């Protein structure tokens, strides 16, 4: 497969993930985390569509890479990726957040194949990822752990404790990814608890820092490849993204951090995503 074929494949998967996210929320008043799921969809698609080693038929395969969605409220994007890559039928996505479903608002590793940790209590994912990466190193495995965090999540002190620990232990088989869409639940990150400049902070904590456009598939893939070359220190990718990316009325609108869709909005969103898919 040529590089352009790979890029096209990932772009298509990202659109399908966004489409699945819209369908999981639906147009009947149900609430879901549309904004942050869509902002990180291209990164999730690059991981599941190309970068990570995994086996949907054997979710506990010892040779797998691991993915932690530290901002677990956006797990519907991961559910979509898991379904699209064969962990369970896409049709099961319609059960999301319903009683008895194994696809709940926050991920549950005991119920859902492909989920590595229960996350969503913000700030904890990077610590979990550190432990997994250290265990891989002890077992002399060459696998990696990828951990997506929100930029609003940077408010949490545990993130910075984990950042110091990863640098101190020289954990070079971990890749942190910050979904920097600049909005959190109640407004702009800079107006709530300004943690900028993130690049300088992570560098000062001892991380190799890569900044990219988080919707540019070529840049995403290049960043993951660069991370593979870094030895003796952890890598963080600061991905500049747009909340609600791909759905015109939701882009950069804080109300879609966790909101519902009207029937008209639901239909409009699907129409726009179908148009984007057809254009590829």
Render pLDDT for 81-131 as a digit per residue (tens, 0 to 9): 999 999 999 999 999 999 999 999 999 999 999 999 999 899 999 999 999
Render pLDDT for 64-83 as a digit per residue (tens, 0 to 9): 999 999 999 999 999 999 99
Render pLDDT for 168-208 as a digit per residue (tens, 0 to 9): 999 999 999 999 999 999 999 999 999 999 999 999 999 99
Question: Cβ neighbours of residue 116 under 8 Å, at least 6 residues apart?
Answer: 66, 67, 68, 109, 128, 132
Percent pLDDT > 70 in the chain is 99
User: CA–CA distance from 240 to each of 48, 138, 162, 165, 191 (Å)?
Assistant: 20, 34, 22, 25, 18
Render pLDDT for 247-270 as a digit per residue (tens, 0 to 9): 999 999 999 999 999 999 999 999
Render pLDDT for 211-250 as a digit per residue (tens, 0 to 9): 999 999 999 999 999 999 999 999 999 999 999 999 999 9
In this structure, the strands spanning 208-213 and 187-188 are unpaired
Contact 135, 78 (CB under 8 A): no
Mean pLDDT taken over the chain: 97
In this structure, the strands spanning 66-69 and 145-150 are parallel
Which domains, from first to last, does the chain contain? 3-279 (3.40.50.970)
Nearest to 153 by CA among 77, 71, 212: 71
Question: Cβ neighbours of residue 272 under 8 Å, at least 6 residues apart?
Answer: 246, 247, 248
Render pLDDT for 1-24 as a digit per residue (tens, 0 to 9): 559 999 999 999 999 999 999 999
């Amino acid at each position: 497969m040529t590089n352009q074929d790979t890029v096209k494949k990932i772009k298509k998967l990202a659109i399908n993930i966004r489409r699945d996210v819209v369908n999981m929320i639906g147009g009947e008043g149900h609430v879901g985390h549309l904004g942050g799921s869509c902002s990180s969809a291209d990164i999730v698609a690059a991981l599941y569509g190309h970068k990570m080693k995994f086996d949907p038929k054997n979710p506990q395969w010892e040779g797998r890479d691991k993915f932690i969605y530290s901002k677990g409220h956006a797990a519907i994007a991961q559910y979509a990726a898991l379904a699209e890559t064969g962990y369970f039928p896409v049709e099961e996505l319609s059960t999301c957040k319903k009683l008895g479903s194994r696809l709940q608002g926050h991920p549950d590793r005991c119920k859902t194949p492909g989920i590595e940790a229960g996350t969503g209590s913000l700030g904890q994912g990077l610590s979990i990822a550190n432990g997994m990466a250290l265990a891989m190193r002890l077992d002399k495995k060459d696998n990696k752990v990828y951990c997506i965090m929100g930029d609003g999540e940077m408010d949490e002190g545990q993130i910075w404790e984990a950042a110091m620990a990863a640098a101190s232990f020289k954990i070079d088989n971990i890749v942190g990814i910050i979904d920097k869409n600049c909005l959190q639940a109640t407004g702009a990150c800079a107006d709530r608890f300004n943690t900028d400049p993130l690049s300088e902070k992570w560098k000062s904590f001892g991380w190799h820092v890569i900044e990219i456009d988080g919707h540019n598939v070529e840049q995403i893939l290049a960043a993951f490849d660069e991370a593979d070359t870094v030895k003796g220190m952890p890598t963080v990718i600061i991905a500049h993204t747009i909340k609600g990316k791909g759905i015109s009325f939701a882009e950069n609108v804080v109300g879609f951090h966790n909101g519902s869709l009207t029937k008209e909005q639901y239909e409009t969103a699907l129409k726009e995503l179908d148009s984007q898919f057809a254009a590829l």
